[in-house]
Amino acid sequence: MTALLSLRGVRKTYPAPAAARSRVREQARVVLDDIDLDVDRHRCVVLIGASGSGKSTLLRVVNLLDEIDDGQILLDGQDVADPRLDANAVRARMGMVFQAYNLFPHMRVLDNVTLALRLVHRRPREEADAAAVEMLRRVGLAHKATAYPDQLSGGEQQRAAIARALVHGPELLLLDEVTSALDPELVGEVLDLLAELRGEGRTMLVATHEMGFARRVADEVCYLHDGQVHERGTPEQVLGDPQRERTRAFLSRLAS
């Protein structure tokens, strides 16, 4: 069986910031360097790594929000990095929660959640509203459906963003720090929600700084360092008994 998502030799660089008067031409910064990664169906792969190690970038290029320099991104065996492909249709099969939520400030929470259903999946308004209310209920936000995003607390915004990414039933979920703004109780509830979604057959790629979260939800943990997958394995292996020096150093700094 092919994995739902496979990355093969993915490379991503960002041009060095144009230093105003500097005569030294800086090298482009390599953020993802020859990444290979497989996410099987119904599985949850968690990315960990220092700030700036490229976790968000990896999720963004999988979501086709940025072009890669080299390599393949295979969704169901099909290379979606191919510019000939209809990227909108590919993106519609995924659901992404952004690290900074990126809610639409001019729309009520409900309309944030129904937008894709109405415009991309062509569902009638009432049907979209019903699905959105149900999704908001699952993240405990039904009572805020008519509020604007800037009237929500940070954790409420985060859950609204989760609802928006889940409501159209995407096959692949890309979650960037989805619990960073939540209290321990809510973290537990979001975890339960993710477990439920996995039971429904969803596949997840998650970036997080919370090792407790990684331990509870991950089938596989990948430690990113210097744009490479430095170490990977089950959460027990990577978090409990890291094999490589850098991984150990990273985890021990987190623990202290």
Ligand X SMILES: Nc1ncnc2c1ncn2[C@@H]1O[C@H](COP(=O)(O)OP(=O)(O)OP(=O)(O)O)[C@@H](O)[C@H]1O
**Footprint on this chain of Mg ion (rule: CB under 5 A):** 56, 99
Contacts of 102 (CB under 8 A, 6+ apart): 161
Q: How far apart are CA 209 and CA 21, in angstroms?
A: 37
- Report, in Å, the least distance between residue 148 CB and other proteins: 7
Q: What is the CA radius of gyration of the chain?
A: 19
Q: Which stretch binds other proteins (CB under 8 A): 49-57, 68-76, 153-161, 194-202?
A: 153-161
Question: Does 120 participate in binding other proteins (rule CB under 8 A)?
Answer: yes
Closest CA to 175 of 148, 149, 213: 213
- Report the residue number, 7 or 117, with the smaller CB distance to Mg ion: 7
- Report the residue number, 99 or 237, with the smaller CB distance to Mg ion: 99
Identify what 31 binds: other proteins, ligand X, Mg ion, none; CB under 5 to 8 Å per kind: ligand X
- Report, in Å, the least distance between residue 206 CB and ligand X: 12
Written as one string, the DSSP assignment of the chain is: ---SEEEEEEEEEEPPP--SS--S-PPPEEEEEEEEEEE-TT-EEEEEESTTSSHHHHHHHHTTSS--SEEEEEETTEETT-TTS-HHHHHHTEEEE-TT----TTS-HHHHHHHHHHHTS---HHHHHHHHHHHHHHTT-GGGTTS-GGGS-HHHHHHHHHHHHHTT--SEEEEESTTTT--HHHHHHHHHHHHHHHHTT-EEEEE-S-HHHHHHH-SEEEEEETTEEEEEE-HIIIIIS--SHHHHHHHHHHH-
Q: Residue 42: CA atoms inside 13 Å, Cβ hemisphere, count? A: 4
Identify what 247 binds: Mg ion, ligand X, other proteins, none; CB under 5 to 8 Å per kind: none
Question: Does 119 participate in binding other proteins (rule CB under 8 A)?
Answer: yes
Q: Which stretch binds other proteins (CB under 8 A): 26-34, 72-80, 146-154, 203-211?
A: 146-154
The residue within the footprint of ligand X, chosen from 53, 112, 157, 203 (CB under 6 A), is: 53
Question: Does 230 participate in binding other proteins (rule CB under 8 A)?
Answer: no
Contact letters (x/-) for ligand X, 81-100, by CB under 6 A? Answer: ------------------x-
Question: Does 102 participate in binding other proteins (rule CB under 8 A)?
Answer: yes
- Report, in Å, the least distance between residue 189 CB and ligand X: 23
- Report, in Å, the least distance between residue 92 CB and other proteins: 3
Question: Does 152 participate in binding other proteins (rule CB under 8 A)?
Answer: yes
Question: Does 31 participate in binding ligand X (rule CB under 6 A)?
Answer: yes
Binding site for other proteins (CB under 8 A): 60, 63, 65, 88-89, 91-92, 94, 96, 98, 100, 102-106, 115-116, 119-121, 139-143, 148, 150-154, 159, 164, 168, 185-186, 189
